[in-house]
Amino acid sequence: MTSRPVIDDLSSFWMPFTANRQFKAAPRLLESAKGMYYRSTDGREVLDGCAGLWCVNAGHSRDEIVAAITQQLSTLDFAPTFQMGHPLAFEAATKVAELMPAGLDRIFFTNSGSESVDTALKIALAYHRSRGEAQRTRLIGRERGYHGVGFGGISVGGIAPNRKTFSGALLPSVDHLPHTHSLEHNAFSKGQPAWGAHLAEELERIVTLHDASTIAAVIVEPVAGSTGVLIPPQGYLQKLREICTKHGILLIFDEVITGFGRLGKATASEYFGVTPDLITMAKAINNASIPMGAVAASRTIHDTVVNSGAQGAIELFHGYTYSAHPAAAAAAVATLDLYRREGLFERAASLAPTFEAAAHSLRDAKHVKDVRNLGMVAGIELESRDGAPGARAYEAFVKCFEAGVLVRFTGDILAFSPPLIINEEQIAHIFKTVRDVLATVQ
Ligand SMILES: Cc1ncc(COP(=O)(O)O)c(C=O)c1O
């Protein structure tokens, strides 16, 4: 492998979701990646415990995906999809649709999870307007929810620091369900916690407050990832579905993290047996090789919007220059074929018990106050240091990286979501490293 000279000026890149000054004083730079491993610029192998950012489900730099992208770029580098098309866009949409729950087979392409969320919220409003209920504009999110960083996403999202700076400019007419996290009732739950389904009934309170006729949609992550892995209580999502259906409110599942095998099924909707009206996705849709996202809409929603426009008129005034970009579409087709050929969703399902046992083996590790998991996702919550929330998990994250394991942290929660090609030895190695590191963390 040829090494590039290490960059010595880090000042121009204003890094996202990063403590820029702290990072640039002691940078962690990745140079290449293959399979389960990154290689850092100082030549160390780093086992990927979080699939990059919950997105590289088939492992890094897969030959089939690289070849599909390379070939596509030399054949058709870009094609507009406004009043034009290219065959791969339609093929990619068909392949995504095949993995969605029955009936959610109309696919709108975006370039990220944030764009998928804003697109889904807009489709929800367009749907109600098309059926003569234009007054349904209120959107319901959930505390601690993460739906990306667009103004729509942060408005329905519930992570306080993501909203604070922008609080004067959030969408009007938004309300929030309570989050479902309770260490008092659910600490160290394996899989779905038993307590908390009743929290979905808070939606009835919100409906009473605002009246159903003003509410367009409810959006939740089936498993909340970025806030620190919150697993839905047993029966919770089913209840949300029932209440939404009863009041004519659309249910949106934000599956940007859970889509494409993370829980051992193509979607969390399939895993939980709860079908929403819209699904947002991104990340693993093409193994994160080229930016891409999508929204799956029910046929009813699609047909209502599309059939309500006059012939020859654009039905939905929304779209991105790079919607269904040829390289991203080629990558999606290659990725979805690869998932199927290698049975990676089934592999995730069969590895989940090993992953669960390994995560919960840290129950008695230093500083640990909760372990929670579902499918190939786990969260380990640490006691916070007095007066310095997040500092302990940050130290653990840095020390894990130095010890050759990449994990995520958010607040004082460590999050794990490895590529689905991981093996049992590597699972054991991740959690052993974390245990050893925690023993050294103050
Ligand atoms: C549930 C969820 N929605 C939306 C997003 C935003 O995706 P992106 O960063 O691609 O805009 C994320 C990112 O982690 C996510 O986890």
**Per-residue confidence (pLDDT) for residue 317, from 0 to 100:** 98
Q: Would the CB of 257 count as within 6 Å of ligand 1?
A: yes
Distance CA 296, CA 252 (A): 10
Q: Would the CB of 282 count as within 6 Å of ligand 1?
A: yes
**Per-residue confidence (pLDDT) for residue 1, from 0 to 100:** 45
- Ligand 1 atom closest to 254 (CA): 1
**CA max distance for the chain:** 68
Distance from the CA of 256 to the center of ligand 1, in angstroms?
Answer: 6
Q: By the 8 A CB rule, do 28 and 401 touch?
A: yes
pTM for the full predicted model:
0.97
The residues of the chain scoring below 50 in pLDDT are 1-2
- Nearest Cα to 111, choosing from 328, 359, 293, 312? 293
- In the block, which residue shows the tokens 């916070």? 384
Q: Which domains does the chain have, with CATH numbers?
A: 20-62+343-440 (3.90.1150.10), 66-342 (3.40.640.10)
- Nearest Cα to 294, choosing from 122, 111, 151, 149? 111
Q: By the 8 A CB rule, do 90 and 262 touch?
A: no
**Per-residue confidence (pLDDT) for residue 6, from 0 to 100:** 62
Q: Would the CB of 285 count as within 6 Å of ligand 1?
A: no
The best mutation among 50, 55, 226, 269 to test binding of ligand 1, ranked by most ligand atoms within 8 Å of the C-beta, falls on 226
**Per-residue confidence (pLDDT) for residue 305, from 0 to 100:** 98
DSSP 251-277: EEEE-TTTTTTTTSSS-HHHHHT---S
- Ligand 1 atom closest to 226 (CA): 16
Q: Would the CB of 112 count as within 6 Å of ligand 1?
A: yes
The best mutation among 283, 289, 295, 320 to test binding of ligand 1, ranked by most ligand atoms within 8 Å of the C-beta, falls on 283
Distance from the CA of 412 to the center of ligand 1, in angstroms?
Answer: 20
Distance from the CA of 439 to the center of ligand 1, in angstroms?
Answer: 32
- Nearest Cα to 204, choosing from 177, 224, 171, 173? 177
**30-34, strands of its sheet edge to edge:** 30-34, 37-40, 45-48, 405-406
- Nearest Cα to 113, choosing from 235, 261, 288, 272? 288
Distance CA 244, CA 276 (A): 9
**Per-residue confidence (pLDDT) for residue 8, from 0 to 100:** 80
